[in-house]
Structure 1
């Protein structure tokens, strides 16, 4: 790691050793080390807590999802083995069974339901799998005898911003190397459906009709199902959804509500009289927006004032709705009494909980289970009550201290855009470095956000700070967590005022914090990659840049990505309008002005921003004689997930920045 004068290791081998040391300390491959908590479930009768999260196998490769069982005495046991993925544990309401998803015996990513008795959790059994489909989510019925399943055709596209490209198991086994990939324009093999499983008999009842794509589903009382549906099963179809209700006995979904914005998290009160949903501008894996309540009898909608944007919902009872969410600049959880419209905030932190967006669950009548973390705090599980917070499980690895010692706690920073709009972000400073170089790290989306989270949800952030860089994590206009108006300000203005918000943030940090304003860098993934390639075409003030999974040419992106509707919505452009938005706001159109050495990284399996986006920009810089490097990972999707690929990517980024840090 660097000395106080930021003298980074100069050789590739030294940087790789530095990165490898970080990953070994943080992930501990083969040591059964959870490096996050994704799902939590509390048994209502015996105090057992089930949780799931990722860990790395000794052999490396992609992370494996495991389920842990936390006993009331603090003992932790693991279900299954690391030979398969187990996820989404949920106890039956009577506490007698634990259900979860697993790809045991089905192939990686092809999840099916498994059920175990609470007194024999190591002997889970699987109902007959749904032929040709993988289960994505499920919900127990209040009677503990039925389970509502939401499934996808094996081979359907994974979520738009997920790292992988497809739901597992869709190719039917090994394919000859010569066999072509065929696209017809049809929707066969892309559909998502709802089914109800009778736990005792194993009988399966389809809910919904052909031509109705089910993205999410929940019970709406004992006799109905409420869902988020669309006519199109494509990833772009997710931006054209509605709330619909169908009888649990089978039959088509009927439209209940059709908001003009995105919908997520739909859930009905136990009596089925009230339906709650998250609505706003966001993406399928980053669901954070306004809480909307619907009266099922009248269809009337209202937005209660709870003082937060929400990302997780659960009913404590028919009149009390639990939520977790973001109240800038921190995270909160609380309960809304829907009859009196009163809200009690039951947990609040400058850090956060959950993975991409805040997540927590209610326990009993008043407690909250919080899978918490912060930039300088490794993930943990705590119980929050009116009397305080009780640590239940600290996941901190035994050798993490040297990593944490290099990072100061993240600091909230606030500034204004050039039009006076209030913007906020976070600044992470390295320990013991005077006037470090400054990196602007731009999030994806644009409907996404940075929170004070462990490594800001990206190991590259911790690697940069640990290597002596200060890092600014801005949430410019268009980011989630500040309401619909703030999120909508990027609509029709991608690479507009959001750019100036970021530049103003850089100037604010230089003016008010001890950083070296003459050594600036920029990086980001997805929309952050788009902004990175746009910025280097507009200014030469950066020493070097790294664009990960970027969008660089709107027209080719529109015709090659699996969700062109997203680009139409956010750009308000038309690919056939020559000289219009698709040309004016494409970084590739400005590549001839770039002078900044630029590293481009992409996954060859990425269907959200296909690798050709990085390839085109790289070739444009080569032709312009600008220093550039293109890195394509053959097994990665929209973000590097494989252990070896993460180490390689971190090494390449640090090496690239070190190579050019004194360029000017």
Structure 2
């Protein structure tokens, strides 16, 4: 009987992932980039596709034809991403790892009239291209690179940059580290398309995280003195002449910087600042005049996540305005922001994203909790469906999972807190799962699967899922995001618990069947909560941080923890002790599953194994699941299916742990 139940669970989980991914059907399950050719109107998109045999997703580029027909740029098994049309519309530039090893991206050029025809493009030895942009005249391309072996960020940290391109090593050969990654840099250079000549920018000691054109004669960049992943949290702005030379310091910041871009004439520089992480930037828009003067913070009524200049005075933006997503254009000369698209759902993948077209239109890769990814073209408030990726099976799934409701409650100190709730269709008083996001500077949006397939899987299997955005989350300004600084596991914990109380009191859920899960910071909060309360039937911590001190000495960005905790590893009795779940493992009675990827450098797998062994030593039910090929989040299809089966089985095992209805 147990084998039959196990088989039934696995079949349901596999069917769910078959529905949302359609492996082998050359089906885009998300739209990461979307750009329109200014001359021909052709639209290129990039997104992940799963092959029939499973494995890791492959990034592909598709060209959208009449009626939403999609033609793949290539079908050679390589990763292609980040398409950009040249200003004259004659060339499509993109990144590809074809022939270079998985993840070792190089710049490629294709003829717009014959996309199968490749033009000459550079191959950088020992470096991978992370980003690029055309000059306004289309004669040069600005390239930002990372040395092979440098760390990738966040959920991309399955491996180091370019590592897949290295020669196979004998099994006995040791891994040797000397000075961390202090010798692996990120750089900027300009490539002349016609001559093939490179012009290097910057000097030794200037690590380039982002670089964009600042008019035709200069480049503006976000820089750090240290090249390690933690150095990203300590950056400033510099400007270098396009003919080469050092970046001259232009501005400094006490908080994080991202998404820098300059007006076409180079007079104005826009950048985001705030509390966020490299792959999930969402912050306050700041405008600088290149000639000097005090920076300006315009009022746009949202936290911004993407920027692009339409003209010298018109700045396009996408952002989050609780509880939805907005896109619009700021007239920088008047300070007036015009919202051109708004939705209770969202656009873009990890943070809101849309792409401007000309002076008045935009491409919106939209989606929502009850809406599969699709592409809209919006012009003067008129929406046109360019591409709808949904299938009939997706429609059936949506009938089961419904859509999210935006909810609001107050923390124990009266602070207003927001989040979302998904209720499974046709289930009376379902069990409730609190699903906590990573970060802490991140947020849940009303998005497809809430940016985590496990979440919608739980709803499809009869669980109500609560998505809190406690203090410290992005989307509500610097003050709200900063409220977690120095107080990890403090009032943010109470915001989550108060939200659970609110849901149990006001919605038809079973208060006797409560669960908690989350990844990264959500994994930290999961392990922390089970040390503070026994109200949960079971817990599942994914990629957790369980001990701040050992995390500091093993993760690739220890500076992050110093900034966000206001503590340090050598302070005895400080926050590294008082807010580390491992220090309170003797208080845990909740059955807890720990899941991690063995390749994770953001929250190393030892964080999960330490907490697991601490519970086992005290006879607390625990299960440790380590995926050998995964990083900060499961990406391989087989691993996602297996993880879903294990989490469902774990929750089902402990669903009746308390019995009765504990509405508290």
What range describes the TM-score normalised by the shorter chain of this pair? over 0.9
Mean CA deviation greater in 329-338 or 359-368: 359-368
Question: Which residue of 593, 603, 606 corresponds with 1:599?
Answer: 593
Q: What is aligned with 1:660?
A: 654
2:217 aligned residue? 223
After superposition, the C-alpha distances for 1:322-365 in whole angstroms (9 at most, x for unaligned) are 00000010000000000011111000000000000000011121
CA–CA distance in 2 between the matches of 1:556 and 1:480? Answer: 27
Cα displacement (A) at 1:116 = 1.1
Tell me which residue corresponds to 1:437. 431
Distance 1:88 1:24, change over 3 A: same
**1:76 aligns to what?**
70
More moved, 172-181 vs 264-273: 172-181
Q: What's the offset of the Cα at 1:210?
A: 1.5
For 2:661, the equivalent position in structure 1 comes to none
In the alignment, the residues of structure 2 paired with residue 181 and residue 369 of structure 1 have an alpha-carbon distance, to the nearest angstrom, of: 46
Out of 274, 279, 286, the position equivalent to 2:273 is: 279
Q: Which residue does the alignment assign to 1:291? A: 285
SS in 2 for 1:301: coil
For the structure 1 residues 189 and 17, does the alpha-carbon distance in structure 2 shift closer, same or farther, using more than 3 Å as the test?
farther
User: How many corresponding residue pairs?
Assistant: 657
Write out per-residue CA displacement over residues 139-191 of structure 1, whole angstroms, 9 at most, x where no aligned residue.
00000110000000011100144342311246631011111111111546521
CA RMSD between the two structures = 1.3
Q: 1:402 aligns with which of 396, 404, 408?
A: 396
CA contact (8 A) 2:103 2:164 kept: no
Contact (CA 8 Å) 2:104, 2:165: kept in 1 or not?
A: no
SS at match of 2:449: helix
Give the corresponding residue for 2:30. 36
Q: Distance in 1 between matches of 2:67 and 2:653?
A: 52
Q: Counterpart of 1:463?
A: 457
1-structure distance, mates of 2:129, 2:593: 38
Distance apart, 1:11 and its partner CA: 2.1
TM-score, normalised to structure 2, is 0.97
Moved over 6 A (4+): none
Select which of 211, 214, 233 maps to 2:227. 233
Match of 2:569 in 1: 575
The Cα shift of 1:409 comes to 1.1
Q: How does 1:378-397 map to 2 (within 5 A)?
A: 378-397=372-391
Equivalent of residue 332 in structure 1, options 323, 326, 329: 326
How far apart, in 2, do the equivalents of 1:200 and 1:117 lie?
14
Q: Deviations over 1:275-321 (max 9, x none)?
A: 00010000000000000000110152010001011000000000000
Alignment of 1:14-29 (within 5 A): 14-29=8-23
Of 479, 487, 491, the match for 1:493: 487
| Structure 1 CA distance for aligned equivalents of residues 247 and 12 of structure 2 | 55
1:96-143 deviations in Å (ceiling 9; x for gaps): 111000000000000000001211111123513112100000000000
2:86 maps to which of 92, 100, 103: 92
* Aligned pair partner of 1:640 in 630, 634, 643: 634
Matches for 1:46-65 after TM superposition, within 5 Å? 46-65=40-59
Aligned residue in 1 for 2:144:
150
1:565 to 537, 559, 564: 559
Show structure 1 runs of 5+ residues with no match.
1-7
TM-score w.r.t. structure 1 length? 0.97
Q: Is the 8 A contact 1:478 1:490 kept in 2?
A: yes
Output the CA distance in 1 between the equivalents of 2:14 and 2:78: 25
User: Relative to 1, partners in 2 of residues 1:580 and 1:169: Cα closer, same or farther, differing over 3 Å?
Assistant: closer
Structure 2 segments unaligned to the other structure (5+ residues): 659-664
Is contact 2:376–2:384 with CA below 8 Å preserved after alignment?
A: yes
